[in-house]
Every structure is written in structure tokens, then in C-alpha cells.
Structure 1
Amino acid sequence: MQSASTECKLMVAAEHNDIDMLCQLIEEDTNVLHRMDKMGVVDTPLHMASSEGCVDFAMEMMYLKPSLAKKLNKEGLSPVHVALQCGHSELALSLLRLDKTLIGVKGKMGYTPLHYLVMYEKKKDYLNKFFNEYHPCINDDLTSQGETALHVAAGCNNEALKYLLKWLRTTAKISMLKKHNLLNVGNRDKETVLHVLARTQPDPQIVKLLSNDLRINTEVKNSKGQTALQILESSDKKGNVDIEECMPILRHAKWWDPVAILRRTPFYIMAMIAQWGYEIKTMSPNNGNAMLVVTVLILTTSYQASLSPLVAFCQQMCPKTTTIISFPTCKFTLVPSTVLLAVIIVIMC
């Protein structure tokens, strides 16, 4: 009877961010947190503190009994899920700083904290903090319906989806191949993020970003044999301003457009360089140094090979006593090449 009373008092202490009361209750009943930890599905004081945004109490609970942070309540949510659902993203980040593995805790229907983030958070700063720190989850975490964070955001939070897509477009933390796979992966119904967006709340700005800038495959069909455009055309909301604006964007979008690809070639090259630089920076020192040496050797070899035809030409056209560098044509070729090589090395270092 006393244990039940102690647990109720702990919930009250959590609600009011009362750390003194927490310490007093633990002195009176030293096993109370241990008993809670042994229970199955249960609302803990950490859930209560997370819902109320009581950062100090939540941190104290994490130090006293960190395993409670992975407990699911009766709604199938961990404390981090609850914090994000209630709009306390700073508290969620504080919990994750103490234990990064909490980002992978799966709640009801396989939703992780990242899924809840894109469902409820609309502030760019918090979204970018999560994306930068926990970017592997964007690729790896799937719900029981096979949904990525992109699918979830497309279904309920266009603001988060917009920021996530812009982050994906510019980040070097995810390779171009993984980005391509992420954008075109289907959920259990074989629907890509574009299908979900077309079916729920199509936004012309986001549709344009997906089809034109990120080059998503607009011709992919879901399990019902429909493309995103066909979903819009058969929508009972036809006539809606956004839908009417989205349809011509998708009609004119070409997933395989050589002209568009050539136009964006400089962007792809810089993206690959940035990706390579990021990979080197995140390697162990020995592997990173080795990779940097190999990279410089490859670039130097390519650089010298590209100059060989020019050198031969200059030697035939010019007297042997004249240095190649003195010719304007040679200067024009050598300077940009040298600058490019220097820029690439600086980016990688």
C-alpha cells in the first residue's frame, strides 16, 4: 500500500519539477525506482516530467535510473516520444545527450522519436539539430508500415518535410546514392514520399522541390498501379488550388532528363567532393590520412594525365628553349587546373 502511495507521490513531484521531494521519497523507499523499472508497460515519473517539460526533474531521473528512459507507457511511448509530442524538443535533446541510443527506441506501430519529431516539430533550428546529429535514423528507421521519416512528414507535417528535403539536398552526411534510395523507397503499399504527399496534402513548392531539384522518380507506381500524378487526377478534392498547381509540375517532370542532368552536373560534382571530404573527416585518423593521400595521388595523376597532350603539343609548336609556362595558352589551362586541385584538397582537409 505504501509503495503505491510512494509511486503516486513521485508522479506529483515530477509534475511540479520538485527534485527535493524526489530525493525525500527515494530515502523513504529506496526500491521504488527499481520496482517501476521491473514493471511492463507503465507511466513513470520520467514520462510525466517529459510531458510537462520539467527538464531538471527529467535529468535527475536519468542520473538515478537511466533505464526508465526506454520504458513505454500505456500509449506505447517512451519519455522522448512524449517530450516531442508535447512540444518539448529541448528536453528531448537533453535526454538524448545523456543516451544517444534513445533515438532508436520503437514505440507504438514502430514509431521512433525521429518519426515523432517530423510529426510535431515545425521549428527549423530543432529539426536541423536532430537531422545533423541523428541522420542515420533518417535512412534506417522504419515504422511497422514501412514508412521512413519522409513518409511520416509527408502525411502530417509539410513544414518538417520541407526542411528535411532542403537538409537532404545540401548535406554531405548522407551519400548521393542513399539520398536517391531514400527518396524513391516505397512503404508497405509501395508508395514513395511523393505518393503520400499527393494523397494527403500536396504542396506545390514541395512537389517542385522533389521532382525538379531532388530528381525523384515521378513514374513509380504504388500497389494500386498509380503514379503520384494519377492520384492527384483522381482526387475527390480536384479543383483545389494546390492540386491544380501540382498537376502540371508532375506532368512536365522528367525523371530522366539529360539536359537537366547536364545543367546540374557542377552541383553533382561539388556534392560528391563534399561527401568525400565528410567521409575522410569522420574516419579514424589513420584511415582518414591514408584516404587523403590516396585522393591526392589520384587527383595528381589525373591532373598530369590531362596535361600530357598539351605538353606534347607545346613541345612540337614551340622552340625547345622556351618554357611551356610562358605561353598564354598554357597559362590559361594550368591555372584553373591548379586552383581546382588546391580547392579540392582544402575542402578535404
Structure 2
Amino acid sequence: MIESPGGAGPAALRRATRAIVWRYVAVALFFDSLPTLTPQLALAFGLSSNAFQTVLGSAFVAFALAQLASAPVIARVGTRTAIVCATLYLGVGATLVCLVTAPFAFVLIFLSMFAVNSIGSNATRLLTARLEQGGGRGVLFARAYGWAQAKNVVAPLLVGAIAATFGWRMALLMAIAPVIAVGIWVGSAMQRIDGISPDCSPRTRCWLAVLRSRSFIVPTLIAAAFQPAFGCAAARLPFHLADRVGADAFAIGLTVALASAAIATGVVVGSRLARRWSSRRSIAVGSLMMGAGLICLLLAQTDAPPIIATTGLIAIQSAYGFIVVPCLGEALDTTDERRLPASSLFGFVQPAIGGLSVALSGTSPLSDVATVTVLGTLSLTAIVALLFAARPRTMAL
């Protein structure tokens, strides 16, 4: 069971909360910058667009599998050690990517970065759930994600400018520098609250109880249904800009920054409305945003200008804050002993579905826009079906 954080003291808890939020920001800054560099990374290591999509999808699958493996690791070393080590390893991995030249070495390091960060992600999500203090389910999650996205709106633009001027290696090192700094700072800020960690691995009955809980299953499935559309829209956007529009690294960074701004706006607005809106209403709004994006993608199949397709890809991503964030708050609103398995399972399902979708889409003969249109339609259909199938008492409606 997870110990109460109350013994740590208000000041220590405030420091821990700030540290956790900045961990979200720094890691999101790095991963939000990667799409800007993916065309150059693929070119540097001799990978085609579809091959890189497969590698990216495999990275998400590695992230998902590591979510399940993270439970005993966190139980053994505690949240603080897990967060610090995983964060610092991102810096090591990014540095190695800049040094290697072999495609196999790049793929191996790239996959390991996602897998190790998965442990830190679960530990961060677990600690965030423990620090929630009666402001409504998922409010702290929404604020953390909102700050992360808002701070990172300019990151793809800066990384794109650096890549266009100094090359992708310098841009990657600049993006990872804040992660290393935050990893060191988090270790210091959380010294007094290391007790906020499991003292043993959750028993089998806890895992089974979570899997039997409709209050966990329904929001987890809804969030998972969103992943094929979101993951493929995010992964395909840079390649759509490079191949269809002919954009350079700076233009790609600018567009990815706009996508981050759209996601941030959705998360921030969703957090503001969390106290007044039900989860069902928030998800319904997100579904409407997905529908608007799909209409743009359908129009793009005609002779519409490329900006229509770009708008559609961004609109689908902007629904994240209205769908995934409230679902996360619902899924982790449980007892202390069930929170670690709930966090691990939620964290496993999302990237597993998203990663497989991105990986399999790499084999699609369709264009980038057509692939996202098909997957987006399937995602929206599944979300609407789950909303209608869920009983009103299943979620906070």
C-alpha cells in the first residue's frame, strides 16, 4: 500500500508537486520536439518513411510493455529513484543517438529510451495521483499536462530552427538538456517524500479487482479507442508536411508547434471545466473535435489545398485533453493499493494500441492523410459506441 503523503509536510509536498509538473514539462519538451526531427533522423540512418513509422510504432509498444514491467521495479526502488533514473537515462540515450551511425544501433537505443522512460512515466503518474487533493478527478493531471503542452508550444519551432541551422544532432542535444537538468533537480526536491511509494508489489487480487472494475475498464477503453487516431495523426503530420507540402525543418517545427498549442488549449480548457463538466460531456466535446478533423481530411481527398489536411490532423490531436485526460483521472480514482496496477494497466493499454496502430499503418499503401482518415473514423466510432454502452454510473457523469 502507498503511504500517506501527509507526513511529508506541506512545504515538501508543494516542492514535490512543482518537481513533478516540471518533469512533465521537460520530458514533453523532448518528445514533442522529436516529430520535427523524424524526417532528418530517418534520412540520417537510411530509413524510409514507412520503415521509420514501424520503428516509431515499435517504440510505443516497448513503452507499453515496460509499463507492466514497471510495477515491480517501482515497488522495489520507490517512485523517486524510478523517476530520477528514467529521466537521466533519456539524456544518456539522446547523447548516444548523436554518436552512433549504424541503423541497428539507433533503433536499439531509440527503443530503450522509450522503454526506460516508461518506468519513470508510470512512477510520475502514480505520484501525481497521490498528490491529487480534492479538486476534482484528474484536475492535477490536467494542469500538469496543460503546463507541459503550453510550455512546449515553442519547442518544436526552436528545435526546427536549430536543426535547420546547425543540424539535427545539435537540436537533439538542446532538446535533451532540460530533461537532464530536471532529472537532477527532481532527485533533490523529492528527498523528503521518498515514502510516497509502494512498499511491496500489488497482490494478484488487486490486479484482478482492477480488471473487474467497470469504473476502470470503460474510461481505459475510451482512451485506448482514441489512440489510433491520435498516434497516427501525430506521427504522420511531419511526413505529410515534408512529402506533400515540401516543408523544411523550420516549417515543420512551426506546424508541430501549432499542433502542440492546440493540444495545450484543449488540456487547459478541459482542466478549467473539470469541476463543472462530467467526463461524458468532456469526451463528447472531444468526439465532436475529432469529427471536425475527419471532415477536413475527407475534403483533403479532393483537390483541396494541403492546409486543409494539416488542419484536420491538428484538430484530431487537439481532442486529447477532452478525451484522454478525464479518462486518466477516472481510471486512477481508486484505492491506494489498486492505484499502481491501475496506473500500470492504463499506461500499458494506451501506447500498446497507439504503437501497434502506428507500426501497422507503416505498411499501408494509402497516403498519410487517407491512413489517418480510416483510423480516425474507426476510433471515433469506437468512442461513441463505448459512451452509449456505458451505464451512467460507470463514470462520473
Report TM bin, short chain.
Answer: under 0.3
Q: Which one has more relative contact order, counting CA pairs under 8 Å at least 6 apart?
A: 2
Q: TM-score, normalising length from structure 2?
A: 0.22
More helix by share: 2
Q: TM-score, normalising length from structure 1?
A: 0.24
User: Which structure has the larger Rg over C-alpha atoms?
Assistant: 1
